[in-house]
Amino acid sequence: MHLDTPLVYVKGVGPFRAEMLEAKGLVTVNDLLHYPPFRYEDRSNLKSIYELAPGEMATVIAEVRSTRMPKMGRRNVGLFEARFGDGSHATLTGKWFHGAYLANVLTEGARVSLYGKVEFDSYSGDMLMMHPEFEMLSADDEDGDASLHTGRVVPIYEAAGKVSPKMMRALMRRVLDGIEPLEDFLPVHLRERLKLVDRWTAVRGIHFPGEDSDLRLLNAFRSPAHLRMILEEFFWLECGLELKRSKAKLEAGIAFQLNEQVREKVKAMLPFKPTGAQKRVLGEIAKDMAEPHPMSRLLQGDVGSGKTLVAAEAAIIAIENGYQVAVLAPTEILAMQHYASFQALFAKLGYLVVPLSGSLKAKEKEKIKRFVEQGAARVVVGTHALLEEGVQFHKLGLAIVDEQHRFGVMQRLKLMEKGEVKPDVLVMTATPIPRTLALTVYGDLDTSVIDEMPPGRKPIKTKHLPESRIEEVWSFVGREVAAGRQAYVVYPVIEESETAGMKAAEKSYLHLRDDVFPQLAVGLLHGKLGQADKETVMADFKAGRIQVLVATTVVEVGVDVPNATVMVIEHAERFGLAQLHQLRGRVGRGGEQSYCILVTERLGETARERVRTMTESNDGFYIAEMDLRLRGPGEFFGTKQSGMPSLRFANIIRDREMLETARGEAQAFIQHPPNEEVLRRAVHYIRDNWQRRYGLVQVG
Ligand code: ADP
Ligand code: MG
């Protein structure tokens, strides 16, 4: 048996089980070794039933004495009950709802191990476990001898289809017994300095912890074996990202000139004095652009920090060097807003800015494509569909990609292949990215952060009110409008096509217009309005002809009306944190004190957390961290294409300190390897073992 032996050839697997293992990404022996248990159970220190105390989590080994399926009247409710005995004089009842299938499994006389929370059943006077986890135990078992499953700390694996946790354990044992001790590829200096156990010890210790191992550490994924595997995983991932970064720095790119002409144009464009942070960040970008290698830089900054201005300055550098700029957004609405911003900023400079959107008529689109191909269009703004539509650039020099957590690494690469020489790429995010993600998903990019707000901004005051107090909200809005300000009232629409949210917005619009604010100009904006209507409404709001704008989530990003000081968010419980923060960022853009009012109906636990986070903080980076913690990395990104590496041992939230350590070590290692041979081995090792798992594209 070798590490790359397909599992289908391992004794006891066969095609049927192999298929189910494959669905979990487990194809080879090596894959299996990287499938850690999610929990450990101490079956060495078992309890007798008579020792059980209500409230504790416990494991007992017992025999099924009797079973029944109690009925309610004549109705079968699917409840399955089994009574267990273990030779002590007490008995334990296990109950399973929807447990009919268990009648053929937990038959009288069967020996099982049960794990669950102990309760006291006041009806029967028995101890009770609801839905305990159980494992069948028998000596003549195809899944190996009982000593593997009892009398020790046992690993509990997630089942893979019909491959039960117990089969998984037996399979793991067989594989570990059948392979040669694993080689350790982690650089020795690192292992010694960080006091890491060697790989073979770690892998065995994760799957079958020794007698002296600490159950608490195991279950916290903090045993020496875990620490080693977590660090290793982060280290190779970060090495891969660092290799990618350093490789890009060797490729041929465009060396843009930063001359007087560029400076003049930038000066002519600037509508105000850039902040210190904007200047610093532009400096970083300009330096990259002047290098004869393609730039891959991430531009981060909170909502309203002025990223657009910086992006526009970068665009001028490209344009004045005779190149074109592509601006890509994840949605049509966002693209439209970028189009408007760039057009406004570049009006004075006489650059032709064109939109390339899916909603254009075929003829118009052809015309625009021709402008792009011939080079007349200096800036092309569109959604990422732009990459697929066979658009030919005359001379693409810079791509500005607005990611908003949706674009994947793959799309970015596709973009880079468009030009003959790789263009520079500036990735902007609409919401700040938590540091842990910046180190993983965006770890192959250099990072610039705008950490300063334009001058004169007052922190937005955020309040939370129940729907029952909506009248107070309206009188507050009335007072602000009387003082010359404007307000947004936003309703959630999850999908752009959804109609329920639209109806709510429409209804509220009529109510506000006719009943609450008959003397004010109330407007309505939602995704179903035609393009021209949308633009009219936005223009009216911008010009102050609309005082209260009722809207669905279309205002989430990009809208810029400094005189608006109130953001009322209805059904705030339905919005995610990032979205709430984005919405709030629509106000507080001028010198006046601004307010965000979160109105909620019933609040679940995480919704309450979200609302609390919002009222506590205005800091987008803090909010992004909380968002990540509340949702978990998978949800946070939402799609498979997110470029999120699939980590087996490590968890970027739980193990963030180790991630930081690994990042530093990996950078040092790649930039100053002890010698070429060690580096070469590492590159090969990453390519052979980690590339597929991490979705890393071409690291070496
Ligand atoms: P972001 O895209 O980072 O959310 P924007 O680029 O839309 O932020 O800028 C937010 C607001 O701040 C806009 O109204 C913009 O015109 C304004 N702004 C940007 N930079 C400055 C600055 N240096 N001084 C004053 N206002 C600025
Ligand atoms: Mg360059």
The residue written with tokens 């006489």 in the block is 350
Sign of CA dihedral 572, 575, 581, 582: negative
pLDDT value of position 178: 94
Q: Which helix (H) or strand (E) is 590 found in, with range? A: none
| pLDDT beyond 60 at 638 | no
| pLDDT beyond 90 at 688 | no
25 CB near ligand 1 (under 6 Å): no
Give pLDDT tens digits for 182-199: 999 899 989 999 999 999
Q: How far apart are CA 139 and CA 155, in angstroms?
A: 19
> Pocket of ligand 1, candidates 266, 267, 272, 341: which has the most ligand atoms within 8 Å of its Cβ, to mutate?
272
| Model pTM score | 0.76
Give the homologous superfamily in CATH for domain 461-617. Answer: P-loop containing nucleotide triphosphate hydrolases (3.40.50.300)
Q: Residue 568, Cβ neighbours under 10 Å: how many?
A: 25
pLDDT value of position 420: 67
| pLDDT beyond 70 at 605 | yes
pLDDT value of position 495: 57
pLDDT value of position 700: 42
Q: What is the mean pLDDT of residues 189-213?
A: 94
Number of H helices, E strands in the chain: 23, 23
pLDDT value of position 494: 56
> Pocket of ligand 1, candidates 300, 305, 431, 556: which has the most ligand atoms within 8 Å of its Cβ, to mutate?
305
Q: Which of these ranges, 25-39, 224-238, 315-329, 552-566, has the smallest mean pLDDT? A: 552-566
Q: What is the mean pLDDT of residues 78-86?
A: 92
For residue 208, how far is its CA from the centre of ligand 1 (angstroms)?
56
pLDDT value of position 699: 43
Q: What is the mean pLDDT of residues 269-274?
A: 93
Fold classification of 260-450 (topology level): Rossmann fold (3.40.50)
| pLDDT beyond 80 at 527 | no
Q: What is the mean pLDDT of residues 250-256?
A: 90
Is residue 176 very low, low, confident or very high in pLDDT (cuts 50, 70, 90)? very high
Q: What is the mean pLDDT of residues 427-448?
A: 83
Is residue 637 very low, low, confident or very high in pLDDT (cuts 50, 70, 90)? low
| pLDDT beyond 80 at 482 | yes
| pLDDT beyond 90 at 666 | yes
260-450 and 461-617: identical CATH topology: yes
Q: What is the mean pLDDT of residues 384-397?
A: 80
* Percent of the chain at pLDDT exceeding 70: 90
Give pLDDT tens digits for 531-551: 788 878 888 998 999 999 998
pLDDT value of position 201: 96
> Pocket of ligand 1, candidates 305, 308, 559: which has the most ligand atoms within 8 Å of its Cβ, to mutate?
308
Residue 150: both structure tokens together: 């009892």
| pLDDT beyond 80 at 628 | yes
Domain boundaries, the chain: 45-151, 260-450, 461-617
Kindly identify the ligand whose nearest atom is closest to the C-alpha of 282.
1
- Which is it for strands 461-466 and 595-600: parallel, antiparallel or unpaired? parallel
Q: Which ligand 1 atom lies nearest to the CA of residue 341? A: 7
- C-alpha distances out from residue 666 to 237, 548, 670, 682, Å: 9, 53, 6, 11
For residue 14, how far is its CA from the centre of ligand 1 (angstroms)?
62
What is the pLDDT of the chain when averaged over all its residues?
A: 87
| Closest among 452, 490, 13, 421 to 256, alpha carbons compared | 421
Domain 45-151 in this protein, CATH class: mainly beta
pLDDT value of position 640: 44
| Closest among 291, 294, 287, 338 to 312, alpha carbons compared | 338
584 CB near ligand 1 (under 6 Å): no
232 with 224: CB under 8 angstroms? no
Kindly identify the ligand whose nearest atom is closest to the C-alpha of 274.
1
Sign of CA dihedral 103, 108, 112, 115: positive
Is residue 409 very low, low, confident or very high in pLDDT (cuts 50, 70, 90)? very low
| pLDDT beyond 70 at 163 | yes
Q: What is the mean pLDDT of residues 273-284?
A: 96
Q: What is the mean pLDDT of residues 150-174?
A: 89
Q: What is the mean pLDDT of residues 430-456?
A: 84
- C-alpha distances out from residue 585 to 103, 501, 555, Å: 58, 21, 10
